[in-house]
Amino acid sequence: MKPKGFEYLRAHSVEQALDSLASNGDDAKIISGGNSLMAMLNFRLLEPKVLIDISRLEALSGIEYKGDYLEVGAAATQAQLQAWPGLAERMPLLALAVPHIGHFQTRSKGTVCGSIAHSDPSSELPLCLALLGGSVVLRSKRGEKVLKAADFQLGMLSTACADDEMVVAVRFPVKRQGAGYAFTEVARRKGDFAIIAIAAEAVGGTIRLGIGGVADKPAVREWSDLATDALDDKLNELAWELGGNDDIHASAKYRRQLVRRLGREVIETAQENGVAVKETN
Amino acid sequence: MSQPIENQKQQVNFTLNGREVGGSAEPRKLLSDFLRQEMALTGVHVSCEHGICGCCTVRIDGKAVRACLTLAVQVDGRRVDTVESLAHAGELSDLQKAFRKHHGLQCGYCTPGILMSVEAFLEISPKPNEEEIRDMLGGHICRCTGYTGMVRAIKEVVEQRNEPVPLIEV
């Protein structure tokens, strides 16, 4: 339960961090909040030779509203996001989801980009990023590129981030005109790993539904102008497609039922929230 | 022969419970172990060592964080507060007294972390309702109390701290 030895580098600039990544490649790991990484080091699931600490980089610590999207830097914490003044108004899905991320005592240090880079299938932020169609900004000595969420997260704890690249920011699209959002999660204890996490966006006759915690990465489906009973069929198909397993936390059957029942509930709540938005406008 | 770089100790200077202190730590040294072993602050309790239980919670620059998910070298230049900072001259703080009064602890193993969480929480939310208090306590595991006494203790402290300053009659 103690990490194996490594060299520790506190980066004084993004360039310094990228230099170290370029020369150490797979042997180096970026640390910011460390909530997931430190646990993996303690268990010795990971044994990097170099740890590059970016948590004090001012250049990466901002949360910036850029009109179409909210850009969150790699050193910005989940608590910072939760306290961002326009969250409920401009980013209603994040406002609903963030309180489910870990606990008060972990959001204080855990970063938004860290959750995205770690890509746990049951994490809230990768699910929100996938549902909203957001993107991830990667940088290396070779340059910068922006990947769509779906192209970034490849599977369980697996991403398209190359060995010499780091996540410098993520971009969450802002609320769409007239859209309603909803989020719910089932966990043994609020804040623990989700058995299932469900997010939905409803705008006009179109529904986007995202499911986390069942498959190896968030699954997003978009359906337009469905008849009421057709939704049940779609949810049932999705429940089987996701292929949830039996494990200590829940049976596969229970997981499929959660997709069907909670999926419908979250969609209906998103639709109601959308109507409420229209009435207040 | 010089040691491999990963075993070389690094200097760590920080403010600990209001005092400037210094020490040296290998990069892999967890803050929880460093505080206990090098700084002799055994009020920092260690249990799960992967961030789940909350026993080791301390404050870094005022924020409640897991010391087991923090490296000692990461607190260089920071302010760290542990449960030892709460009582003064042998007198328990208002929060500690309330925990004792309302049976907010039994074996006491989880208590130091919870006290540090509560102090950080009340700075951000000075007037929390019961639901918010319970949500915050959800970040800690207590196997003795069932949390009810803690909730009562915290509510009492919230009331006391928010009482208007009595007017002095002239």
Give the Cα separation of B82 and B89 in Å (integer).
Answer: 16
Write out pLDDT tens, residues A140-178.
Answer: 999 999 999 999 999 999 999 999 999 999 999 999 999
Residue B5 pLDDT: 83
Q: How, if at all, do strands A206-212 and A219-224 pair? A: antiparallel
HSE-CB at B93 with a 13 A cutoff on CA atoms is 16
The CATH number fitting domain A58-173, selected from 3.90.1170.50, 3.30.70.1020, 1.10.1740.10, 3.30.465.10: 3.30.465.10
Judged by CB atoms closer than 8 Å, whether chains meet at B136 and A2 is answered as: no
The CATH number fitting domain A7-53, selected from 1.10.287.1080, 3.10.580.10, 3.30.43.10, 3.40.50.300: 3.30.43.10
**In chain A, what are the domain boundaries?**
7-53, 58-173, 180-280
Nearest to A221 by CA among A131, A121, A123: A131
Q: Which residues of A touch B146 (CB under 8 A)?
A: none
**Which residues are CB-neighbours of A138 under 8 A, at least 6 positions away?**
A144, A145, A146, A147, A161, A162, A165, A166, A167, A168
The shortest C-alpha distance from B167 to chain A (Å) reads: 35
Write out pLDDT tens, residues B19-66.
Answer: 999 999 999 999 999 999 999 999 999 999 999 999 999 999 999 999
pLDDT tier, B167 (very low <50, low <70, confident <90, very high otherwise): confident
The question of ipTM being above 0.90 is answered as yes
* DSSP letters for B137-159: HTTS--SSS-SHHHHHHHHHHHH
Write out pLDDT tens, residues A199-249.
Answer: 999 999 999 999 999 999 999 999 998 887 899 999 999 999 998 889 888
Give the Cα separation of A253 and A273 in Å (integer).
Answer: 30
Give the Cα separation of A31 and A10 in Å (integer).
Answer: 9
Judge whether A53 and A11 are in contact, CB under 8 Å: yes
Give the Cα separation of A234 and B36 in Å (integer).
Answer: 55
Residue A280 pLDDT: 63
Average pLDDT over residues A2-28: 96
Nearest to A132 by CA among A71, A69, A213: A69
Give the Cα separation of B30 and A274 in Å (integer).
Answer: 47
Q: Where are the alpha helices (DSSP H) in B48-147?
A: 94-101, 111-124, 130-137
Numbered residues of chain B with Cβ closer than 8 Å to any chain A Cβ? 4-7, 10, 26-28, 30, 33, 49-51, 54, 57, 60, 63-66, 68-71, 73-74, 76, 117, 120-121, 135-136, 138-140
Q: Which two three-digit tokens encode residue A256?
A: 């499929």
Judged by CB atoms closer than 8 Å, whether chains meet at A2 and B30 is answered as: yes
Q: Which residues of A touch B10 (CB under 8 A)?
A: 8
Q: In this complex, is the C-beta atom of A27 within 8 Å of any C-beta atom belonging to chain B?
A: no
Residue B1 pLDDT: 53
DSSP state of B88: B
Distances (CA, A) of B129 to A201, A264, B132, B135: 30, 31, 5, 10
Nearest to B114 by CA among B91, B98, B131: B98
pLDDT tier, A278 (very low <50, low <70, confident <90, very high otherwise): low
Q: Which residues of A touch B133 (CB under 8 A)?
A: none
Do the two domains A7-53 and A58-173 of this chain adopt the same fold?
Answer: no
Residue B7 pLDDT: 85
The shortest C-alpha distance from A223 to chain B (Å) reads: 35
Q: Residue B76 belongs to what H/E stretch?
A: none
Judge whether A200 and A231 are in contact, CB under 8 Å: no
Judged by CB atoms closer than 8 Å, whether chains meet at B139 and A79 is answered as: no
- Beta bridge mates, A66: none
- Architecture of domain A180-280 in CATH? 2-Layer Sandwich (3.30)
Closest by Cβ to B28, choosing from A6, A10, A191: A6
What value does the mean pLDDT of chain A take? 95
Closest by Cβ to A39, choosing from B50, B74, B121: B50
Q: Which residues of B touch A6 (CB under 8 A)?
A: 6, 27-28
Q: Which two three-digit tokens encode residue A16?
A: 């310094």
Q: Which two three-digit tokens encode residue B17?
A: 């419970």
Closest by Cβ to A106, choosing from B4, B27, B51: B51
Locate the chain B residue with the closest alpha carbon to A34: B69
CB atoms within 10 A of CB A184: 19
Write out pLDDT tens, residues A18-65.
Answer: 999 999 989 999 999 999 999 999 999 999 999 999 999 999 999 999
Q: Which two three-digit tokens encode residue A248?
A: 């200590």
Sheet holding A180-186, edge to edge: A180-186, A196-203, A206-212, A219-224
**Which residues are CB-neighbours of B25 under 8 A, at least 6 positions away?**
B9, B10, B12, B34, B38, B71, B72, B73
Closest by Cβ to A190, choosing from B5, B64, B135: B135
Q: Which domains does chain B have, with CATH numbers?
A: 5-84 (3.10.20.30), 94-162 (1.10.150.120)
Write out pLDDT tens, residues B95-150.
Answer: 999 999 999 999 999 999 999 999 999 999 999 999 999 999 999 999 999 999 99
CB atoms within 10 A of CB A215: 17
Judged by CB atoms closer than 8 Å, whether chains meet at B49 and A104 is answered as: no
